């Protein structure tokens, strides 16, 4: 009995042992299947993450192509530059759709991709607006760069998250590989207990493990190849800010070897002037207050002694307990962009220093539309129209242009082939009218197409005024020369005629005296002496008038204005003509109540005497002198019924040495009326003339009333 019981017990024990091993093997196989499934899932996630990173890089490259294409077109106006833009648009849309599909399982990444899609759409919308033929120059302004930098920042943020996910999944995959390896060895032992069939299963799974390891190694190699060939610096630090990883891009950008830099502090690589801001940035990241897509331009030292402008995009790494364990990020070289920006700023400063401090108006406008791209402040100073107004309403500048000149300016402004130079007038804010001389220039691209129209307007008012004064001076000089010639001709005639008569009369007197004819010759001698006396008086009158006029022009004529009795003065003047040989007299008439006038007695007496003398000289009837007293002035009219004055001569009647065309046979110097007009001006009065040829002439003298005490 005992052996049977022993055998039974032994068999049961073997069976139980085999059964237990089989159950363990089955359980192990289940666990192995679970691990293998998880390994496959992790491997797919690794590949999936690589695809997301590739799509992000490709998207960034296409946006850069589109932006560069549009910038080239806006800067040159050449449509050839738009070809890459049109090629990039469908590729950008495809990349965004692929990204949306790839991150569909990650809500956080979905939101970031949606943000990226909006940013890219905004950027494409701007580029689409700028590629139009009549687009503005906004692509060259800082906003274009800011929008592009926003796209890069969003892409960099997504890449950082995907890289972190890639490392996490690779670590999980490595852990699964270790667990799978240990389980496989356990299953191998169990397979030896349970039989050869387990060997095939374990061997098969081992081969699969090898395949997964090879795929993981291939993925790691591709990731290392990608990172190590990037021009961008990829880095990691520990919690104290010391470098723990730097890709080869570090040495390319800074000149410092990667091996020598690992273990050193990040802030030691920063220029001294930027260390404080860098330290503050690290503290914000460690505290969790720095935005995930935040960036900062920092100057990093270069091994040669200079520095490079690097854009730092980084985020903090935290463990499961949310403890800060280090930094992960990238460094982008922005040195050339920064230098170009500084050069652009300096160039713009130099341009503005010149354009905004010159008196000339300077502008730049679009070739396809009347839009002003730039207008310097001189425009506002000359027109009173604000720059904001002319930018918003380009034709508002015409409000300042003198109405008669607007058609000329508008034609030049709107024409496709404008005038290169023209002049026009504007209303200055100070109330004056200014003359502007305008020059138009055009700019062409390499294809010979017009891209910009520029202009400059210079204030030539002062120059024109100088020209006007010069013309007036030349005209005055010509007038003086003509007057001199006229004076010489007149004076030579006026002097020659009396002198000839005097000479002839003297010769006759001498002959009469030598002939001894007695009393018969006495009357002839007296006649000749009378001729001599008359001619001497004529010469004296001419000389006196010339001297008087010279004295007036030199400002040496004395004027003593006083309240005088005009009626009494007129009676005294009239009395001078009472004993004429022809018996004619002056007819004096008075209208109104006599009052005193403000005048110089001597000068006014000369004026009235000259006018009455002319009335006697150019008529055969009695001249009339009428005094008309009015409320605010007194008029003295000297009227004759003589030969009159031709209408064409009236405008020149008061000119020096001028004589009417019908007065050739009547003696006179041609200075009498000129002196009368000057005398009336000195007395703050005036003299006017009205005449009809063949009917007579009326001279009107107007005097101011004397001030009442």
**Which of 179-193, 314-328, 577-591 bottoms out in mean pLDDT, i.e. has the lowest?**
179-193
Domain shared by 574 and 585, yes or no: yes
Confidence bin at 1 (pLDDT 50/70/90)? very low
> From CA 515, how far away is CA 416, in angstroms rounded?
99
Strand partners, 401: 426
468-512: pLDDT as tens digits: 888 888 887 777 666 655 665 565 556 656 667 776 776 777 676
Per residue in 313-343, pLDDT tens?
888 888 888 888 888 888 888 888 888 777 7
* 346 domain residue, yes or no: no
Q: What is the structure's pLDDT at 314?
A: 82
| Rounded distance between C-alpha atoms, residue 244 and residue 328, angstroms | 10
- Same domain membership, residue 564 and residue 547: no
Calculate mean pLDDT across residues 262-268: 90
Question: Do 258 and 216 fall within a single domain?
Answer: no
Residue 12 has pLDDT above 70, yes or no: no
101-115, 248-262, 430-444, 559-573 — which one is most confidently predicted on average? 559-573
Same domain as 241, residue 222: no
- Residue 528's pLDDT is what? 66
| Closest among 394, 396, 408, 399 to 365, alpha carbons compared | 394
Mean pLDDT lowest for which of 15-29, 319-333, 566-580, 634-648? 15-29
Residue 694 backbone phi and psi in degrees, to 5: 90, -10
Q: What is the mean pLDDT of residues 119-123?
A: 75
Q: What are phi and psi of 243, to 5 degrees?
A: -60, 130
Q: What is the pLDDT at residue 226?
A: 56
Highest mean pLDDT, choosing among 186-200, 203-217, 352-366: 352-366
What is the residue range of 570's domain? 558-705
- CB 638 within 8 Å of CB 625: yes
Distances (CA, A) of 571 to 536, 616, 640, 679: 29, 17, 18, 20
pLDDT score of 7: 42
* Average per-residue pLDDT for the chain: 77
pLDDT confidence tier of residue 519, bands split at 50, 70 and 90: low
Residue 600 and residue 562 in contact, taking contact as beta carbons nearer than 8 Å: yes
Same domain, 528 and 604: no
* Model pLDDT, residue 412: 77
pLDDT tens column, 392-405: 888 888 888 898 98
Query: How distant, in Å, are the alpha carbons of 124, 158, 389 from that of 92?
Result: 9, 16, 39
Residues 6+ apart with CB under 8 A from 43: 173, 212, 215, 216, 219
What is the C-alpha to C-alpha distance for residues 319 and 397, in angstroms, rounded to an integer? Answer: 66
428 — pLDDT class (breaks 50, 70, 90): confident
Least trusted range by pLDDT, from 197-211, 237-251, 507-521, 671-685: 197-211
From 9-18, 262-271, 499-508, the region with the lowest mean pLDDT:
9-18
Dist CA 66 CA 81 (whole Å): 10
Domain of 475, CATH number, reads: 1.10.287.130
Contacts of 148 (CB under 8 A, 6+ apart): 63, 64, 67, 123
- Long-range (24+ apart) CB contacts under 8 A made by 340-348 are 341/142, 341/145
Per the model's pLDDT, the better-predicted residue between 587 and 187 turns out to be 587
Question: Position of tokens 């020369």?
Answer: 481
Residue 603 lies in a domain: yes
Grade residue 233 by pLDDT with cuts at 50, 70 and 90.
confident
Name the more confident of 613 and 531: 613
- Say yes or no: 372 and 275 in one domain: no
Whole-number percent of the chain with pLDDT over 90: 16
Q: What CATH number is attached to the domain comprising 277?
A: 3.30.450.20
**The predicted structure's pLDDT at residue 137:** 45
Phi-psi region of 38 (alpha: psi -120 to 50; beta: other; left: phi over 0): alpha
The answer as to whether 347 is a domain residue is no
Cα 389 to Cα 371, 429, 452: the distances in Å are 12, 16, 21
Average pLDDT of span 367-379: 81
**Residues paired with residue 374 on neighbouring β-strands, in sequence order:** 364
Per-residue model confidence as pLDDT tens digits over 70-96: 666 665 666 666 667 676 777 787 877
Q: Is the pLDDT of residue 625 over 90?
A: yes
Percent of the chain with pLDDT over 70: 69
The larger pLDDT score, comparing residue 16 to residue 568, is at: 568
Stated as kind and residue range, the H or E segment containing 72 is helix 2-76
What's the half-sphere exposure (Cβ side, CA atoms, 13 Å) at 116? 30
Q: What is the arithmetic mean of pLDDT over 522-542?
A: 67
Asked if 529 and 486 sit in the same domain, the reply is yes
**What is the C-alpha R_g of the chain?**
57
Residue 405 CB-density burial (10 A; 0-12 exposed, 13-18 middle, 19+ buried): middle
Residue 595 pLDDT: 94
Mean pLDDT value across residues 118-145: 60
The DSSP letter of residue 306 is: -
Dihedral sign computed on CA atoms, order 561, 565, 570, 575? negative
Residue ending a domain, among 493, 527, 551, is 551
Q: What is the mean pLDDT of residues 36-43?
A: 69
**What per-residue confidence (pLDDT) applies to 575?**
92
Question: How far, in Å, CA of 556 to CA of 554, rounded?
Answer: 5
- Report yes or no: 182 and 62 within 8 Å, Cβ to Cβ: no
- Using CA atoms, how far residue 31 sits from 26, 173, 181, 190, 620, in Å, is 9, 16, 12, 14, 153
In a domain, 345, yes or no: no
Query: Would you say 369 and 377 are in contact if contact means Cβ atoms under 8 Å apart?
Result: no
Burial of 28: CB neighbours in 10 Å, binned 0-12, 13-18, 19+: buried
Q: Which of 185, 210, 227 is the last residue of a domain?
A: 227
Q: Are residues 485 and 426 in the same domain?
A: no
**Euclidean distance between CA atoms 441 and 421, whole angstroms:** 9
pLDDT at 553 over 50: yes
pTM over the 0.85 mark: no
Among 315, 340, 365, give the residue marking a domain's end.
340
Domain CATH number, residue 680:
3.30.565.10
Please give the tally of structural domains in the chain: 5
Is the CB of residue 688 less than 8 Å from the CB of residue 705?
A: no
Q: Name which residue leads in pLDDT, 288 or 273.
A: 273
User: What confidence tier does 131 reach under pLDDT thresholds 50, 70, 90?
Assistant: low
Q: Is residue 276 part of a domain?
A: yes
Is 236 in the same domain as 190? Answer: no
Distances (CA, A) of 652 to 472, 655, 658, 661: 19, 5, 7, 11
Confidence band (pLDDT; 50, 70, 90) for 569? very high
Per the domain annotation, does 378 fall within a domain? yes
- Same domain, residue pair 48 and 128: yes
Helices (H), 242-305: 249-254, 258-261, 275-287
Residue 351 is assigned to a structural domain of this protein: no
Does 643 score more than 80 pLDDT?
Answer: yes
Q: Which residues contact 234 (CB under 8 A, 6 or more apart)?
A: 163, 227, 245, 246, 247, 249, 329, 330
Beta bridge partner(s), residue 640 = 697
Q: Which of 144-153, 195-204, 295-304 is least confident?
A: 195-204
| Range with the largest mean pLDDT of 364-373, 541-550, 692-701 | 692-701
Does residue 48 belong to any structural domain of this protein? yes
Higher pLDDT, 152 or 471: 471
pLDDT of residue 599: 94
Q: Angle at which helices 142-194 and 107-130 pack, to 10 degrees?
A: 150
**Coil vs helix vs strand at 134:** coil
- Residue 562: phi and psi, rounded to 5, are -155, 165
Confidence (pLDDT) at 460? 86
Do 607 and 484 fall into the same domain?
no
C-alpha torsion angle, residues 574, 577, 579, 585 (rounded to 10): -80
Within this chain, do residues 418 and 490 fall inside the same structural domain, yes or no? no
As a dihedral over the C-alpha atoms of residue 658, residue 664, residue 669, residue 675, rounded to 10 degrees, the angle is: -40
């Amino acid at each position: 009995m005992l052996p049977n019981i022993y055998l039974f017990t032994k068999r049961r024990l073997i069976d139980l042992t085999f059964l237990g091993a089989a159950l363990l093997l089955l359980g192990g196989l289940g666990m192995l299947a679970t691990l293998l499934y998880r390994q496959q899932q992790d491997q797919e996630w690794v590949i999936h993450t690589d695809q997301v990173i590739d799509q992000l890089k490709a998207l960034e490259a296409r946006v850069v192509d589109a932006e560069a294409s549009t910038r080239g077109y806006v800067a040159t106006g050449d449509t050839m530059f738009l070809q890459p833009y049109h090629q990039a648009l469908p590729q950008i849309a495809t990349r965004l759709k692929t990204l949306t599909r790839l991150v569909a399982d990650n809500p956080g990444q979905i939101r970031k991709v949606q943000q990226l899609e909006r940013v890219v759409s905004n950027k494409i919308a701007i580029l689409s607006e700028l590629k139009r033929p009549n687009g503005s120059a906004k692509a060259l302004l800082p906003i274009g760069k800011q929008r592009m930098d926003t796209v890069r920042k969003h892409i960099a943020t997504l890449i950082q998250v995907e890289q972190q996910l890639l490392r996490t999944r690779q670590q999980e995959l490595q852990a699964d590989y270790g667990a799978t390896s240990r389980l496989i060895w356990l299953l191998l032992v169990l397979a030896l207990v349970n039989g050869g069939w387990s060997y095939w299963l374990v061997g098969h799974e081992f081969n699969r493990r090898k395949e997964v390891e090879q795929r993981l190694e291939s993925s790691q190699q591709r990731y290392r190849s990608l990172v190590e060939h990037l021009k961008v610096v990829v880095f990691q630090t520990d919690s104290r800010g010391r470098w723990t990883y730097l890709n080869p891009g570090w040495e390319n950008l800074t000149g410092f070897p990667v091996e020598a830099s690992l273990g050193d502090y990040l802030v030691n690589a920063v220029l001294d002037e930027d260390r404080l801001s860098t330290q503050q940035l690290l503290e914000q990241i460690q505290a969790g207050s720095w935005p995930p897509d935040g960036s900062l331009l920092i100057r990093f030292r270069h091994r040669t002694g200079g520095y490079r402008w690097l854009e730092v995009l980084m985020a903090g790494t935290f463990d499961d307990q949310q403890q800060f364990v280090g930094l992960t990020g990238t460094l982008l070289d922005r040195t050339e962009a920064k230098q170009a920006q500084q050069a652009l700023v300096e160039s713009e400063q130099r341009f503005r220093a010149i354009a905004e401090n010159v008196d000339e108006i300077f502008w730049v406008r679009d070739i396809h539309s009347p839009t002003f791209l730039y207008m310097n402040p001189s425009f506002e100073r000359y027109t009173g129209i604000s720059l904001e107004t002319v930018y918003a309403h380009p034709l508002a500048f015409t409000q300042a242009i003198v109405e008669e000149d607007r058609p000329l300016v508008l034609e030049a402004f709107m024409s496709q082939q404008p005038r290169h130079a023209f002049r026009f007038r504007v209303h200055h804010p100070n109330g004056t009218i200014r003359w502007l001389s305008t020059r138009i220039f055009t700019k062409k691209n390499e294809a010979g197409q017009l891209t910009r129209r520029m202009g400059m307007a210079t204030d030539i008012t002062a120059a024109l005024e100088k020209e006007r004064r010069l013309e007036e001076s030349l005209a005055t000089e010509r007038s003086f020369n003509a007057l001199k010639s006229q004076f010489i001709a007149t004076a030579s005639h006026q002097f020659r005629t009396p002198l000839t008569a005097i000479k002839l009369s003297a010769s006759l007197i001498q002959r009469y005296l030598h002939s001894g004819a007695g009393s018969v010759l006495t009357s002839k001698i007296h006649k000749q002496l009378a001729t001599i006396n008359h001619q001497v008086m004529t010469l004296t009158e001419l000389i006196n008038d010339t001297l008087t006029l010279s004295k007036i022009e030199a400002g040496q004529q004395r004027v003593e204005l006083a309240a005088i009795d005009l009626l009494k003065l007129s009676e005294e003047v009239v009395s001078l003509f009472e004993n004429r040989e022809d018996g004619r007299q002056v007819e004096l008439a008075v209208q109104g109540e006599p009052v005193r006038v403000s005048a110089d007695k001597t000068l006014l007496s000369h004026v009235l005497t000259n006018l009455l003398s002319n009335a006697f000289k150019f008529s055969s009837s009695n001249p009339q002198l009428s005094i008309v007293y009015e409320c605010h002035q007194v008029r003295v009219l000297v009227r004759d019924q003589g030969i009159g004055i031709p209408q064409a001569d009236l405008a020149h009647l008061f000119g020096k040495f001028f004589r009417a065309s019908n007065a050739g046979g009547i003696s006179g110097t041609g200075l009498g009326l000129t002196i009368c007009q000057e005398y009336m001006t000195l007395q703050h009065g005036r003299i006017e003339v009205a005449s009809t040829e063949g009917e007579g002439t009326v001279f009107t003298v107007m005097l101011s009333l004397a001030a009442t005490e």
